[in-house]
C-alpha cells in the first residue's frame, strides 16, 4: 500500500478515536444524559449511549450515525427495526452482539408504542384500531388476518392471528375465526388485515370474505363489528364505509 495513503488512513482513524475524548465532558452523550436527561439527546446520541463503546477507528457516535444513515431509506428512525442482522453488521464496528442489541431496541420500542396505542383503543373509532396495528402490519410482506375478540362491554379479551397469506373466501374458513372467538367466550369480533401493496382498498375477495364472516357471525350470535384493512399510513373501515 502507498505509504502516503496508509498515513492518511491512520490519521483519519486517530481523529475519529479522539472525537469523543475531545468533546467537553458534559457534551459526551452519557454525561449529557445524566446532566440534561435523555430527552436532550439526539437520535444518534441516544443510540451511541446504548451501543456503549465503539471500535478502533469508529467511536460509538460515528457508528450510531452510520446505522441511522442506513435506515434513512426506511423512514429514518422508524426504519431502524426493519434492518436485518446482516445489514446492521455491514456497519463498521457492529458485530453480532451489537446487531442483536439494536434489533432488541427496535422491537422494544415497537412494543412500547403498541402498548401505548392499546390504552386508547375504542371499537367505535376505527382510527384507534388502525393506529394500534399500523406499525406492526404495514411493513409485512404477506397478508396477515387478525381476529380481535370482544366481551359484552366491548373490552378486548384477546387476539389471534387466524391466517397468513392471501385473504380470500376460498382460503380462509370462517370456522377457524369463530372457533377462536368461542374459545375466548367472545360476544363480538373485529377483523384486521394488511395489504402489503400499501393500498387499503378492498378487493372483490375481501368483500366476499367479509360478507361470509358477517353472515356466519349473525347465525352464531357473535357479530362481526368491523373489518379494518391496514395500508401504508392509511386504513379502511368496512363499517365506516357502510360496506356491510
Tell me the average pLDDT of the chain.
Answer: 81
- % of the chain at pLDDT higher than 90: 32
Q: Give just the sign of the alpha carbon dihedral 37, 40, 42, 45.
A: negative
Please say whether the dihedral angle defined by the alpha carbons of residues 30, 35, 36 and 37, taken in this order, is positive or negative: positive
Looking up cell 363489528 gives 225
List the grid coordinates of 18. Answer: 479522539
Contact (CB, 8 A) for 150 and 156: yes
Whether the pLDDT of residue 202 is over 80: the answer is yes
Is the pLDDT score of 225 beyond 90? yes
Q: Contact 19/61 with Cβ under 8 angstroms? A: yes
pLDDT surpasses 80 at 68: yes
Residue 8 predicted with pLDDT over 90: no
Per-position DSSP letters for 94-135, written without gaps between them:
--HHHHHHHHHHHHHHHHHHHHHHHHT--TT-HHHHHHHHHH
pTM of the predicted structure, to 2 decimals? 0.63
For residue 229, list its beta bridge partners.
Answer: 193, 236
Which of 223, 218, 43 lies closest to 148 in space, CA to CA?
223
For residue 74, which phi and psi values (nearest 5 degrees)? -115, 45
Average pLDDT over residues 77-90: 80
117 versus 217: which is more confidently predicted?
217
Amino acid at each position: 500500500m502507498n505509504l502516503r495513503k496508509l498515513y492518511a488512513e491512520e490519521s483519519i482513524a486517530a481523529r475519529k478515536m479522539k472525537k469523543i475524548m475531545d468533546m467537553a465532558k458534559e457534551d459526551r452523550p452519557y454525561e449529557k444524559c445524566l446532566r440534561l436527561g435523555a430527552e436532550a439527546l439526539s437520535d444518534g446520541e441516544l443510540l451511541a449511549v446504548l451501543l456503549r463503546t465503539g471500535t478502533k477507528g469508529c467511536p460509538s457516535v460515528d457508528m450510531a450515525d452510520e446505522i441511522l444513515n442506513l435506515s434513512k431509506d426506511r423512514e429514518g428512525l422508524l426504519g431502524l427495526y426493519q434492518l436485518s442482522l446482516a445489514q446492521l453488521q455491514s456497519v463498521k464496528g457492529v458485530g453480532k452482539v451489537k446487531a442483536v442489541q439494536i434489533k432488541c431496541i427496535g422491537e422494544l420500542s415497537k412494543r412500547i408504542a403498541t402498548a401505548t396505542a392499546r390504552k386508547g383503543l375504542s371499537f367505535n373509532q376505527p382510527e384507534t384500531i388502525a393506529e394500534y396495528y399500523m406499525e406492526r402490519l404495514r411493513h409485512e410482506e404477506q397478508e396477515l388476518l387478525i381476529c380481535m375478540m370482544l366481551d359484552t362491554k366491548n373490552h378486548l379479551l384477546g387476539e389471534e392471528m387466524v391466517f397468513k397469506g392471501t385473504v380470500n373466501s376460498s382460503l380462509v374458513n370462517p370456522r377457524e375465526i369463530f372457533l377462536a372467538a368461542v374459545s375466548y367466550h367472545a360476544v363480538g369480533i373485529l377483523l384486521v388485515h394488511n395489504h402489503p401493496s400499501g393500498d387499503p382498498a378492498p378487493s372483490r375477495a375481501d368483500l366476499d370474505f367479509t360478507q361470509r364472516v358477517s353472515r356466519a357471525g349473525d347465525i352464531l350470535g357473535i357479530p362481526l363489528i368491523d373489518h379494518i384493512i391496514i395500508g401504508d399510513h392509511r386504513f379502511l373501515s368496512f363499517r365506516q364505509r357502510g360496506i356491510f
